[in-house]
Chain A
């Protein structure tokens, strides 16, 4: 059985730079990005890595913003509830996001992530260009380009988990590692 606090405790075990639990709005994204930038500015981190972390956070948060499901009604949470944690991880950075998804969507998301993880760098580039050039975008977003972009920028496999919450919902946990 999924427990939010247990997940959060585990996700924030490391060297946490920033964390948030609540509704994902456009204003929140603006503020979070600006504060991440300030925090990274204070480090002497390579600008290449800084940009990757920033980019991956933009796509992660905007993915949540556009595609999030309403949280289950039996826990008292904001409508567009999500959690994210940015932490240092070894020589790199880790971005963790967590949100509730309807179980009917799990297979679709899982298949998509597995497909992305199966592809190598060149194949991801081709897939990205194919979707960019051929598919109609909805006003909501990039037709699935976000996850591909995250995978390309991070250069690592997307680690994910779906944890059963109840008959209707699962909790989707995604972890992206960014290292030079």
Chain B
């Protein structure tokens, strides 16, 4: 399966989805006006990936900012991962990174954690 590699911009994150290694990364800022359009390829990719995923899927989310329009799309990404996890075809872990003093980002991760049934790890980044 072809990986997804998308360079970040001031409003959109860097995306690296690799089916072979099972490593998925969303990093940077996610504040586009049209989030649905931006996230569609990732949601479609996960749909396909879910058919024969890697034994382990490690998801690294390291966002500096994200807007409410992205929040639903990120949840859609997580819901796809949740169904992969439930299918027991892959052991899915989500690592949610937040900067040391960024309580809002930690809380945002906890919001997702409480909605989803999927292992979440909160990882503090120290400068």
User: A residues within 8 Å of B by Cβ?
Assistant: 26, 29-30, 33-34, 46-48, 51-52, 54-55, 58-59, 62, 65-66, 125, 128-129, 132-133, 137, 139, 141-143, 145-146, 148-149, 152-153
Instruction: Determine if A59 and B68 form an interchain contact, defined as CB atoms under 8 angstroms apart.
Output: yes
**Contact residues of B: prevailing secondary structure:** helix
B window 4-31: CB within 8 A of A? 10-11, 31
Nearest B-chain residue to A140, judged by Cβ: B69
Of B44-52, B87-95, B97-105, B117-125, the one touching chain A: B97-105
Q: Which of B33, B36, B107 contacts A62 (CB 8 A)?
A: B33
B78 to chain A, nearest CB (A): 11
Taken together as a complex, chains A and B put the C-alpha atoms of A82 and B59 apart, in Å, by 40
Q: Which residues of A contact B99 (CB under 8 A)?
A: 47
A52 with B104: in contact, given A129-B111, A146-B68 (CB under 8 Å)?
yes
Q: Is B68 a contact of A142 with CB atoms below 8 Å?
A: yes
Q: Once bound together, how far apart are the Cα atoms of A144 and B36, in whole Å? A: 16
Contact residues in B for A132 (Cβ distance below 8 Å): 71-72, 75, 111, 115
CB-based nearest A residue for B104? A153
- Cα distance, A52 to B37, chains bound together (Å): 26
Contact (A149, B68) CB under 8 Å given A26-B33, A30-B10, A128-B111? yes
- Taking CB as reference atom, which chain B residue is nearest A144? B68
Chain A to chain B contacts (Cβ below 8 Å), 14 pairs:
A47-B99, A47-B101, A48-B101, A48-B103, A55-B65, A59-B68, A65-B33, A128-B111, A129-B115, A132-B71, A137-B69, A139-B34, A142-B72, A143-B72
Do A59 and B67 contact each other (CB < 8 Å), given the known contacts A34-B10, A66-B33?
Answer: yes
Known: A58-B67, A133-B75, A142-B72. A33 touches B10 (CB 8 A): yes
CB B107 to nearest CB in A, in angstroms, measures: 8
A55 to B71, CA, bound (A): 13
Q: Which residues of B contact A66 (CB under 8 A)?
A: 33
Measured CA separation A145–B33 after assembly (Å): 14
Contact A133 B33 (CB under 8 A): no
Which B residue sits closest to A136, measured CB to CB? B72
Contacts of A148 in B (CB 8 A): 68
Known contacts A33-B31, A125-B107, A137-B69; 13 additional CB pairs below 8 A are A26-B33, A47-B99, A48-B103, A52-B104, A54-B65, A59-B67, A62-B31, A129-B115, A139-B36, A141-B69, A142-B69, A145-B72, A149-B68
Whether B34 contacts A125 by the Cβ 8 Å rule is no
B68 in contact with A145 (CB, 8 Å):
yes
For the complex, is B126 an interface residue (Cβ under 8 Å from A)?
A: no
Contact A58 B33 (CB under 8 A): no
